Structure 1
Amino acid sequence: MLEDFERGRVTAFFRRVADAIPVADRPASLVITHLLAERPRFLEGVARISDVAAVLPKPRSINEAALRHVRAGMQVDDLNRSRFADPEQALAYVESRAAGRNLVLLDVGGYWAPALEHLHTHFSGRIVGVVEDTENGHQRYLELGKLPCPVFSVARSPLKEPEDYLVGQSVVFSTEALVRSRDDILNGRPACVIGYGKLGQSIAAMLHAKHVAVTVFDIDHVRRVQALSQGYRTASTLSEALSSAGIVVCATGNLALKEDDFSHVVNGAYIASVTSSEDELELAALSHLYARSLVEPHVTRYSRTGHYFYLLADGNAVNFLHGASVGPFILLVQAEILAALALLASDEYAPGMWEVPAEVRQSIAATWLRHFDGVS
């Protein structure tokens, strides 16, 4: 929990960022977010730029104290990916919260992508644009092809790199904590990291620093070359990567393990994910194949005749069990989201993928350094 002076410093930082880009006509906003402990300050920043029509917390990353705080001043609604995947249901929801308004959609993971064209065409107001936080969501908007409105993505911003690096560390911390809850340890268990993007690279480096042997699998040949150059063993197939791994960390954001892949997981292996189970693991397909039993809090044993493995945190982002904290570095990404929101509210942008300009990122970084350098 932040001390009062710490909350004041975060609030002052977001105020400076939010006020740096003047907004003449305040839009409404619908905000999908991880509602972690520090998030109310960010939402207050969003409210400086827009009228927050509703906050939609991602269901597996909700801090109860933060939820109570936000509910006291904002509308909070349940988030359901299947509802937003249905264009008519998505439209009905948006109309219920922001009918006739200029509206910006803040996203974490491409929730708005399936219905975006329908919303743009049929919404009684105007979809000004989308701000997307994650690489997974970035990819979902790219897959739409021709976008009906501007989509600002912070997923590939240099301001997100500190967060990605530190999230990788927190994933390994939480994985090790759950393994130790069974009186087990990482050492002596070779690890497999599936996906060698920014998160996967950080996870591999942290495991290596703990003297764990790491094999990397990525469908991207260039990333496999990068992994080899950085001293890791690589595998040419997923089954090969899984065949000797006692720790499996899924870091693709795009269905790392499908039904048939689980049969290649070695007996007694631990499986961890960096994102929600619905994005990373085809668990529903296992319901008729494996018996499940909770052996420790957040450690589930999957077993069938001759085969068993352990799933951590029900296949959801394992680091959220311990707050997923990356310190004040997360504020850099949140500040860029605020800047993207302000840009959409202050000017017209053509449909397509956009990034916050480099000079705005420089300003955010300079402001962050004035507030947080030496206290992180």
Structure 2
Amino acid sequence: MEPQDRARLDAYFDKIAKTFVPEQRPAGLLVTHLLPDRPSFVRAVDKVTELRAVLPKPKSIDLGARREIEQAVAVDALSRELFADPVAAVTYLETRAADEDVVLLDVGGYFAPSLTEMCDTFSGRILGVVEDTENGHKRYAEMPKPPCPVVSVARSPLKDPEDYLVGQSVVFSTEALLRGRGDIMNGRPALVLGFGKLGSSIARLLHAKGVHVTVYDIDPVRQAQAFSQGFTVAQDRDRALTMAGVVLCATGSLALRGEDFPKLRNGAFVASVTSSEDELELDGLPDYYGRTTSGENITRHTTTGHYFYLLNGGNAVNFLHGASVGPFIFLVQAEILAGVRLLARGDLGPGMHEVSVDDRAAIAATWLHYYNR
């Protein structure tokens, strides 16, 4: 990032932080993709919270960004296992924020498995969670009885530009990997699993490139939406898997289980929009499949009579090329800061919540002031 771009970004986040700083700043724990532009956002989080630790998502850590952040705040290792075990989760929380009011800023529902125990036994008070992604939104929304407020920005209209551009980057990276081994997308029927905001963006972009697209979604409303936009809608998921030359997983949950991989068409390419631990049950892939490298960031899985290719080890394929969506990501990050203030007020009940329309309008106006030039 050029110095003048960094200066503008810092000025933008300084304005946003001043707008949404709570009267009483709670402690904060931040899960984030640690990409090159992320230190500015982390500093803004530290202005609206007393930031106790950053937990970078393991598959998206830029070493330069990490070194910069480590100079100001602790950077801890993140894993699903850490917060799957209630004892380990509470112990970690106690080491970082004992006896404090805490806001948890999440990307992908990491805190969800132990959230009830954390709220019940932590020596301080968990004011709530701010969740960024659709995958995480679902994890919290599916809890039988959420123990605290969860402010989700996953379905915010401010996220629409990001979702479109992420879809664009997924298609770009998938095509780039195929071209890197002398192949192309055209002529390979594509199956998009999930027709939410990301999946629908991917489907439309593939269609614009002349690729035949089939969509599968468990939601009949989304099926109808896909059908109305001219896509083939698969009713039989297993049959669709056997027909597809490229499978793009965008469900926000578990798209392919271990037993699904042997159903793939010979030579099919599989790509995901998020980490492999969320979309793909690779641990369930039958042991009789061998693995070999077949081009840069492409793994060939082979057994007698069957083979398929996995892009970027099953992790978000667009992260191979920076996963950049330009300044539009800063809209969503600003809404996360607004979510912190909402939780810090302490008047929300347990369950799912959203940032207000007025706060979103203020964020958009500030963003336009800095970036509509």
Shorter-chain TM range is over 0.9
Does residue 353 in structure 1 map to residue 348 in structure 2?
no
Deviation, structure 1 residue 289: 2.6
User: What secondary structure does 1:243 align onto?
Assistant: helix
Following superposition, the deviation at residue 297 of structure 1 comes to 2.1
SS of alignment partner, residue 24 of structure 1: coil
What is the TM-score of this pair, normalised by structure 2?
A: 0.98
Deviations 1:88-138 (A, max 9, x none): 100000000111111100000111011111111111111011100011111
Instruction: Within 5 Å, give how 1:72-83 maps onto structure 2.
Output: 72-83=71-82
1:205-247 CA-to-partner distances (Å, cap 9, x unmatched) read 1111111110111111111111111011111021121122111
Residue 65 of structure 1: aligned partner? 64
Assess if the C-alpha contact under 8 Å between 2:94 and 2:122 holds in 1. Answer: yes
The answer for the alignment partner of 2:294 in structure 1 is 295
1:122-173, CA deviations, whole angstroms, 9 ceiling, x for partnerless residues? Answer: 1111101110001111111111122111110000100011101100000000
- Structure 1 partner of 2:335: 336
Supply the AA of the counterpart residue of 1:142.
A
1:221 corresponding residue in structure 2: 220
Shift of 1:302: 0.3
Paired position in structure 1 for 2:200? 201
1:131 aligns with 2:141: no
CA–CA distance in structure 2, aligned partners of residues 112 and 260 of structure 1: 28
Greater shift, 291-300 or 256-265, is seen at 256-265
Amino acid at match of 1:340: G
Q: Which residue of 1 aligns with 2:19?
A: 20
Classify the secondary structure of the residue corresponding to 1:296. Answer: coil
Counterpart for residue 118 of structure 1: 117
Q: Deviations over 1:290-325 (max 9, x none)?
A: 000111221000000000000001101000111100
**Which range moved further: 200-209 or 10-19?**
10-19
Alpha-carbon distance in 1 for matches of 2:119, 2:248: 38
Q: C-alpha separation between the residues in 1 aligned to 2:74 and 2:157?
A: 32
Partner deviation per Cα, 1:35-58 (whole Å, 9 max, x = no partner): 111111000100111111100000
State how 1:154-173 maps to structure 2 within 5 Å: 154-173=153-172
**Paired letter, 1:221:** P
Residue number in structure 1 paired with 2:49? 50
Secondary structure in structure 1 of the residue aligned to 2:20? coil
How far the C-alpha of 1:5 sits from its partner, in A, is 1.2
SS at match of 1:105: strand
Name the amino acid aligned to 2:24.
D
Query: 1:105·1:130 contact (CA, 8 Å) conserved in 2?
Result: yes
Distance 1:173 1:229 in 2: 25
Show the counterpart of 1:239. 238
**Further displaced range: 260-269 or 153-162:** 260-269
**Matches of 1:182 and 1:332, distance apart in 2:** 37
Match of 2:272 in 1: 273
- After superposing the two structures, state which structure 1 stretch, 231-240 or 127-136, moved more: 231-240
The one-letter amino acid paired with 1:275 is: T
Distance 1:370 1:127 in 2: 35
Normalising by the residue count of structure 1, what TM-score does the alignment of the two structures yield?
0.97
Q: Is the 8 A contact 1:272 1:311 kept in 2?
A: yes
The structural deviation recorded for 1:21 is 2.9
Question: Cα distance, 1:260 vs. partner?
Answer: 2.0
**Paired letter, 1:29:** G
Identity of matched residues, %: 59
Aligned residues: 373
Q: Distance in 2 between matches of 1:14 and 1:353?
A: 26
1:269 aligned partner, one-letter code: A
* C-alpha contact (below 8 Å) 2:259/2:286 kept by paired residues: no
Structure 2: gaps of 5 or more residues = none
CA distance in 1, matches of 2:347, 2:290: 54
Contact 2:259/2:284, CA 8 A, preserved across alignment? no
Query: Aligned AA for 2:349?
Result: A
- 8 Å CA contact 1:18–1:342 kept in 2: the answer is no
- 2:324 counterpart SS class: coil
Residues in 1 aligned to 2:57 and 2:76: alpha-carbon distance in whole angstroms: 10
Residue type at the aligned position of 1:232: F
Runs of 4+ in 1 over 6 A off after TM superposition: none
Q: Secondary structure at the match of 2:74?
A: coil
CA gap of 1:152–1:278, structure 2 versus 1, over 3 A, is: same
Answering whether residue 10 of structure 2 is matched by residue 11 of structure 1, we say yes
Report Cα offsets for 1:243-283 as digits up to 9, x if no partner: 22111100002111112211221111100000111111111
Aligned partners of 2:216 and 2:234 also within 8 Å: yes
The change in CA–CA distance for 1:313 and 1:22 in structure 2 (over 3 A counts) is: closer
Contact 1:22 1:346 in 2 (8 A): no
Q: CA deviation at 1:343?
A: 2.0
Task: Choose 353-362 or 281-290, whichever is displaced more.
Answer: 281-290
- 2:40 alignment partner in structure 1: 41
Deviates more, 1:201-210 or 1:18-27: 18-27
Corresponding residue SS for 2:102? strand
For 1:344 and 1:262, the matched residues in 2 are separated by 42
Q: Which residue type is aligned with residue 111 of structure 1?
A: Y
Q: Distance in 2 between matches of 1:21 and 1:318?
A: 34
Give 3-state SS (helix, strand or coil) of 1:124's partner: coil
Task: Give the drift of 1:347.
Answer: 4.2
